[in-house]
Amino acid sequence: MVGIVSYGAYIPKFRIDRKIIYQAMGWFDGGTYQPGEKAVANFDEDSISMAVNSTYDCLTDIDSKDMDALFFATTTAPYKERLNSEIIATACDLRNDIRSADYSNSVKAGTTALLAAIDSVKAGSAKNVVVAAADCRVAKPGSSQEEFFGDSAASLVIGEDNIIANLVGSHSVSYDFPDCWKSSTDKYHRQWEDRFIRTEAYSKFILEAISGLVKKTGLDINSVSKVAFPCLYPGDFKKIGKMLGLGLEKLQDPMIANVGYTGASNSLMLLTAALEDAKPGDKIIVASFGSGSDALLFEVTEEIEKIKGNRRGIKKHLAAKKALTNYEKMLAFRDILPVEKGIRGETAGTFTSFSTVWRERNLVMALYGSKCQACGTPQIPAQRICVNPDCGAIDQMEPYKFAGRKATIFTYTGDNLAYTPSPPAIYCIADFEGGGRYWFDITDADLDAVEVGMEIEPTFRRKYKDDKLGMHIYFWKMQPIMQ
Amino acid sequence: MSKGIRDKVAIIGMGCTKFGEHWDKGAEDLLVESYVEAIADAGIEKKDIQAVWYGSCNDEYSFGKSAIALSQTLKLPFIPVTRVENMCATGSEAIRGAAYSIAAGVHDVCLAIGVEKLKDTGFGGLGEVAANSGLKGKLILPSYSGPGGFALLATKYFAKYGLSAEKGKEVLAMVSAKSHANGCLNPKAHLRKHITVEMVMKAPMIAWPLGLFDCCGVSDGSAAAIVCRADLAKNFRDDPVLIKAMQIAASSGEELMYQGSWDGSYVMTGAHCAKKTYEEAGIKNPREEIDMMEVHDCFSITELVTYEDLQISARGKAPDDVKDGFYNLDGKIPCQPDGGLKCFGHPIGASGLRMMYEMYKQLQGKADKRQLKDPKIGLTHNMGGVPYQNVVSINILGL
């Protein structure tokens, strides 16, 4: 058998009420207004960083070294050349004798990667495959996509043991349907007329894929607990359900009102939400949309009870939100609004040595330090000579991973002088539980709420972006512990 | 057993430019000015200088990380020149090299000189520190600044001694106001303006809890010293100043990477260095034996904590001494008689030598309006880095 072994998710904490966007840009096109709020990646997040954090959630109680492949799905890969999936795999501390691949160029890529993972396990070339999907799409100010698009990530482990949901079957349809596109040099999403997309594609492809799946598997559609698919148009969303003979209660909440349409991560995010509420025996269909549609049917097993509550998943991320009340800040975070950084900001984050990044990859990407085998002191960065003044043992270190370990704030400040895209720069000296101390940026926090002794945890972020050399540089920051 | 450097080396000449925003002068101009003053003060000529230690930290002037910027600027005749850098303690490191060479008996007369042109960066404060912390450092260090690094010390000091933000800031404001009062008396100081405690407390926040007036001046400047064998000093002048102790301590990594004894409310290197300095100088009770000092007040909190690291104020009691005026110009141990980094300014490579310049002039009775009554022992404390990874240099000068 092959199926889902684990799920995890990441939704950035910032949510912006769409009214704020509409108040700023509704003057241009009064027809863009949409209700609810959407998730907005912080300035230090992108599809890679979100995928790393969702994969950590997914691997909460699973050894990353048991993974044999990592597939990454996105339409907003930071790099066009340099394997984005392997950046994620390195940050998630996977082995090196694995396969990693990027699935891209369509918002359907999430299920494409999922099917590829299933095929790998079925074929026996991998026992466990991580599928990470994330998107952080940028739409032009004043467009309805600006309100519609949200940022998120979702991760699954596909395998053959400890399956929480067995794959029953799948069906795919593929069309070169030019509903939306980006050329190799476009920053922004473009799309053709809505009516063309609704009538010729959205209301047809998902239906065709799910109908094909039902036929192929001999499924009684009434036995299905939830059907999860993206909602591009609310009216047609319901109509697709109706055509399938499904009541509204069977349709998985598409989370447009609280997260937004999250591109390549959308289907996996909805599947994760469905799994969070599922009980053994439930049948769940997930379908994607974009250049066709993939539909997959899963049947939930008893194993799901074992991981319930052990992950942040969708629900905890939805609850851990912070209001973004400033429209211009959202634009600045995505480099849509050029902010005067001053000479200090202009010269910050320039020139990175990739040979140093490579040599220090365990530290920089997976937050490894070392632990002295003589005295047991964890230390970061990894040391050759023990930092404990009463020890000082030479070359008796073993690798020690700090990612995933809680810490407390030893001391902190909020700095208005140091350059950061979102002042003040908050940073601290952090004491890790179990030993080890170092200083870190703090992200996703309000200075007023930070205090000495507060509990924090590492989160993977983009440290800076060097536009001149086209480099995206990542490291770990601290965030307030998510409850 | 070595006996250290006490009384082996004398300072026979010093020079110091006006510190400030020298938009019209390059590092070369400033170096020439401090050098010319120093050799004139010592009454020597270029040919008398046998070796040079040159300190500059932030930028490479003219020609890379080497001594050449200095040797070509001063047209030194093919003599040994060593460039040193040790963050904000660079100036102290320069004179340490020169003095040690003399104590070792290798040379008789040496020049130590430091310079910095901080105002060529295009922004306030020091350069982008994380970006200048090496190829590995920039990958992992937070986006921090100098004031931010020391704000981490203030947060911890306030927390340890139960000072509210307001009470803590008030004490720090008194430290800054005192230095401004002194700086006003000094024609070579960068910032010559009286400020009130209220002004300090209401100033824009730079890095919580440190505001604008908790931060020192960011300046251009140069300072220089001629050192020679103590037994030859009287050949040059009647009032040479003797080096009584010269110590420097660097962080072991314990503060930043180990959850050990350090509680974050003081500077470990400073405390270690002070102990060794007093041993070398033979000082038993610093609160009674030291007459004056120039300490590294890059930020008001640094000065406050340094009073305690130097064992002059008891732990947690520096605020009481500040309120009592103990460190004022008319107090028991005047601190920062020249205005300190706060007002004289802080060109990185020159500051350690600038501190000695004031002690030297005070000991010789040539400090004009700032002159203290008959000082015999002066201390300089020069720190580079941030409170949890740094170097601290402490030196004692006397007659």
| Over residues A37-49, mean pLDDT | 98
A-chain residues near B205 (CB < 8 A): 416
- Pick from A43, A40, A38: which is nearest to A461 by CA? A43
Q: Are A252 and A270 in contact (CB under 8 A)?
A: yes
Q: Is residue A9 part of a domain?
A: yes
In a shared domain, residues A153 and A211:
yes
A-chain residues near B153 (CB < 8 A): 411
Q: Are A380 and B257 in contact (CB < 8 Å)?
A: yes
In a shared domain, residues A316 and A418:
no
- Whether the predicted pLDDT of A33 surpasses 60: yes
pLDDT of B121 reads 85
Q: Are A416 and B207 in contact (CB < 8 Å)?
A: yes
Q: What DSSP element (H or E) covers B221?
A: strand B220-229
pLDDT of A351 reads 85
pLDDT of B129 reads 67
Q: Are B205 and A427 in contact (CB < 8 Å)?
A: no
In a shared domain, residues A348 and A300:
no
Render pLDDT for B177-223 as a digit per residue (tens, 0 to 9).
999 999 999 999 999 999 999 999 999 999 999 999 999 989 999 99
Asked if B346 is an active-site residue, the reply is: yes
Q: What DSSP element (H or E) covers A100?
A: strand A99-104
pLDDT of A349 reads 74
Give the domain-ending residue among A333, A356, A383: A333
Q: Are B125 and A417 in contact (CB < 8 Å)?
A: yes
Q: Is residue A384 part of a domain?
A: no
- Whether the predicted pLDDT of B230 surpasses 60: yes
Q: Is residue A45 part of a domain?
A: yes
Name the residue facing A413 among B135, B151, B257 (closest C-beta): B151
- Preferred mutation among B128, B210, B299 to probe A, highest tally of A CBs within 10 A: B128
- Whether the predicted pLDDT of A64 surpasses 90: yes
Give the domain-ending residue among A333, A353, A375: A333
Name the residue facing A360 among B139, B143, B257 (closest C-beta): B139
| Over residues B323-351, mean pLDDT | 97
Residue with tokens 């907003």: A76
DSSP label at residue B20: B
pLDDT band of residue B1 (cuts 50, 70, 90) is low
Q: Are B258 and A389 in contact (CB < 8 Å)?
A: yes
Render pLDDT for A76-87 as a digit per residue (tens, 0 to 9).
999 999 999 999
Q: How far is A464 from chain B (nearest CA, A)?
A: 9
pLDDT of B130 reads 63
What CATH number does the domain containing A415 carry?
A: 2.40.50
Q: Are B398 and B378 in contact (CB under 8 A)?
A: yes
Percent of chain A residues past pLDDT 70, beyond the cut: 100
Q: Is residue A113 part of a domain?
A: yes
Name the residue facing B264 among A363, A411, A427 (closest C-beta): A411
**Residue A376, phi then psi, degrees to nearest 5:** 85, 10
In a shared domain, residues A45 and A140:
yes
Domain count, chain A: 2
In a shared domain, residues A326 and A407:
no
B-chain residues near A416 (CB < 8 A): 204-207
Q: How far is B355 from chain A (nearest CA, A)?
A: 27
Mean pLDDT of chain B: 96
Name the residue facing B144 among A360, A415, A436 (closest C-beta): A415
- Whether the predicted pLDDT of B127 surpasses 80: no
What Rg, from alpha-carbon coordinates, does chain A have?
23
CB burial readout B378-396, b (16+ within 10 A) else e: bbbbbbbbbbbbbbbbbbb
pLDDT of A348 reads 80
Q: Are B145 and A412 in contact (CB < 8 Å)?
A: no
In a shared domain, residues A210 and A227:
yes
The two structure tokens encoding residue A391 = 């020890």
Cα(B159)–Cα(B382) distance, integer angstroms: 25
Cα(A473)–Cα(A465) distance, integer angstroms: 6
Q: Is residue A298 part of a domain?
A: yes
**Residue A408, phi then psi, degrees to nearest 5:** -125, 155
In a shared domain, residues A14 and A129:
yes
Given the residues B22, B190, B272, B346, the one annotated as active site: B346
Q: Are A379 and B252 in contact (CB < 8 Å)?
A: no
| Over residues B39-57, mean pLDDT | 97
- Whether the predicted pLDDT of A317 surpasses 70: yes
pLDDT of A98 reads 98
| Over residues B48-66, mean pLDDT | 91
- Whether the predicted pLDDT of B333 surpasses 70: yes
In a shared domain, residues A261 and A358:
no
pLDDT of B59 reads 82
The two structure tokens encoding residue A292 = 């066709």
In a shared domain, residues A320 and A412:
no
Q: Is residue A373 part of a domain?
A: no
Q: Is residue A396 part of a domain?
A: no
**Cα-to-chain-centroid distance, residue A264:** 10
pLDDT of B128 reads 65
pLDDT band of residue A381 (cuts 50, 70, 90) is very high
What are the DSSP calls for A278-329, one per residue?
A: --TT-EEEEE--SSEEEEEEEEE-TTHHHHTTSS-HHHHHHHS-EE---HHH
pLDDT of A58 reads 98
In a shared domain, residues A312 and A210:
yes
- Preferred mutation among B257, B299, B386 to probe A, highest tally of A CBs within 10 A: B257
Q: Are B341 and B146 in contact (CB under 8 A)?
A: no
B-chain residues near A463 (CB < 8 A): 139
In a shared domain, residues A297 and A347:
no
Q: Are B264 and A429 in contact (CB < 8 Å)?
A: yes
CA B268 vs CA A231, B248, B308: distances in Å = 60, 12, 11
What range does the domain containing A414 cover?
Answer: 342-367+402-480
* Interface ipTM > 0.90: yes
Give the domain-ending residue among A278, A310, A333: A333
**Residue A74, phi then psi, degrees to nearest 5:** -165, 160
**Residue A370, phi then psi, degrees to nearest 5:** -135, 165
What CATH number does the domain containing A261 carry?
A: 3.40.47.10
Chain A window 160-219: which residues touch B at a Cβ cutoff of 8 Å? none
Q: Is residue A375 part of a domain?
A: no
Q: What DSSP element (H or E) covers B157?
A: helix B146-160
A-chain residues near B207 (CB < 8 A): 413-418, 424
CA B132 vs CA A119, A350, B95, B127, B141: distances in Å = 48, 10, 25, 8, 10
Cα(B390)–Cα(A196) distance, integer angstroms: 65
Mean pLDDT of chain A: 97
pLDDT band of residue B122 (cuts 50, 70, 90) is confident
| Over residues A288-302, mean pLDDT | 98
Name the residue facing B135 among A356, A441, A452 (closest C-beta): A356
Render pLDDT for A399-451 as a digit per residue (tens, 0 to 9).
999 999 999 999 999 999 999 999 999 999 999 999 999 999 999 999 999 99
How many inter-chain contacts (A to B, CB under 8 Å) are there?
147
Between B98-102, B133-137, B199-203, the lowest mean confidence (pLDDT) is in: B133-137
Q: What DSSP element (H or E) covers B308?
A: helix B300-309
A424 has a chain B CB within 8 A of its CB: yes
Chain B interface residues facing chain A, Cβ-Cβ under 8 Å?
Answer: 121-125, 128-131, 135-136, 138-148, 151-156, 159, 204-208, 252-254, 256-260, 264, 388
In a shared domain, residues A277 and A362:
no
Name the residue facing B139 among A411, A428, A475 (closest C-beta): A475
